Amino acid sequence: MGAAPSTAFVKVRPRRRRFLRQRLMDNVLLALLPVLVGGVYFFGWRVLAMVLWVTLVGCGVEYRMAGNRGDPLTEACLVTCALFALSLPPTLPFWMAAVGIVVAIGFGKEVFGGFGRNVFNPAVVGRGFLFVCFPVAMTGRFAPVWHGGAAGLVHWGPRRMIEGVNAVSAATPMWARRDFGWSVGLSRLVTGDIGQLFAGNDGVRRALAAGSVGEVSALLVLAGGLFLLVKKTANWRLVASSLGGAVAATVLFRNVLGISAVPPLLWTLCSGALLYACFFMVTDPVSAPKHRPAQYLYGAFIGAMIILLRWKAVFAGGVAFAILLGNTVGPTLELFTRAHARRREARKMAVTSGPGP
C-alpha cells in the first residue's frame, strides 16, 4: 500500500462568519416597528414592500463589499436600510430607493472600512444623495394618509385623491406653513391624521399631504424613541441635547428675535422629521462623538441647524443636511473638548501639587 499523503503543508482557510448579530440593533429594529406599522396603516402595503426591497439591495451591497475584506454582514445594515426606507416619501420609485441605499451602504459606510469606521450616518448619506439628485421626487411626491377603519391596510399604495383633487405632489405641513401661511392642527401632527384640503394665503385650495413615511405621527416616533431610552440603546445625552438645541433655536428666533416664519415650539417639535432624527439618526453610535462634552455640543448643533435650515433653506425639512453638518464637525468637537479637558486636568494637578522646592 502507498503512503498516506502528507497534510503538513496544507493550509486550511478559516470559515468566514456570514452574519454578525448585534443585540443593540435588535432594540433599534423593535423601536422602528410602531413607525413601520403606522407607515403601512397610513400609506398602504407599498411601504412594507419598499422596506423589504431596500433591505434586500442594501444587504446585498454590504455582503459583497464586506466579503471582499473577509468581514460578515452586520445587523447594523438592517437598521440602516430600515431607517433609510422609512425616511423616504411613500411614492418614491423603487429604482430611486435602490440607488439611494447603494450610495448609503457603499459610499456612506463600506468605503470607510465597514461597520464602526464610517464618519457619516449611512442612512442620511443616502437620503441626502437622493435630495440632491432627485429633488422633485423627494420633495414633490408626498401624499395624504388614508383615513378611518382599516385605512391603508386595505390598499397597496398611498391615497392620491381628496374630493376629486389630485393629492400627490401636495404641500406637506412644513411647506404649507412656510410657503402658504396655513398651519395644520397640532393634534393631527401628533396622531398622523394628515390629509385634507386647505386654502393658503393666496386663496388657492390645495391638498395637504403627509411627509416621509417615518415622520407622519409624532406619537409613534416618540413611542419607539422612549423604548430606546428605556433599553439604554440610544444615548440620552444626544437625544436631550439635539432636542434642547432645537428648543433653544426656536425660542431665540421666534420669541426673542420675533421671526414669525419660525413655527411655535410644540408645532416645531411634532412636525417634520425632527423627533425621528433626534431619536434614531443623531444617536448613531458610530458617527456621533464619544466624549460626553462633545456629545452635548454635537446634539445641540444639529438641533439648532434643523431649525435654521427649516427657516432659511430651499428644502423646508433640512434634517438630513443638518445631521451631515453635525457629522462633519463632530470629530473637531471631540478634539476640542478632549484638549480642553486635558488642559483643565493639567491646571488642576499644578494647583494641587503646589510650588516646587
For the chain, count helices (H), then strands (E).
Answer: 14, 6
pLDDT at 98 over 90: yes
pLDDT band at 1 (very low <50, low <70, confident <90, very high): very low
Tell me the per-residue pLDDT of 138-195, one tens digit each, with 9 for 90 and over.
Answer: 987 888 999 888 999 999 999 887 877 777 766 788 888 888 888 899 999 999 999 8
Tell which phi-psi region holds residue 48, choosing left (phi > 0), alpha (psi between -120 and 50) or beta: alpha
pLDDT band at 14 (very low <50, low <70, confident <90, very high): low
pLDDT at 87 over 70: yes
- Rounded to the nearest 5 degrees, what angle is found at the Cα of 238, between the Cα atoms of 234 and 239? 70
Whole-model pTM? 0.90
Which residues, in sequence order, are bridge partners of residue 140?
A: none
Q: Which residue ranges make up each domain of the chain?
A: 19-139, 155-208, 215-345
The whole-number average pLDDT for the span 103-117 is 92
What letters, b where the CB count within 10 A reaches 16 and e where it falls short, cover 65-93? bbeeeebbbbbbbbbbbbbbbbbbbbbbe
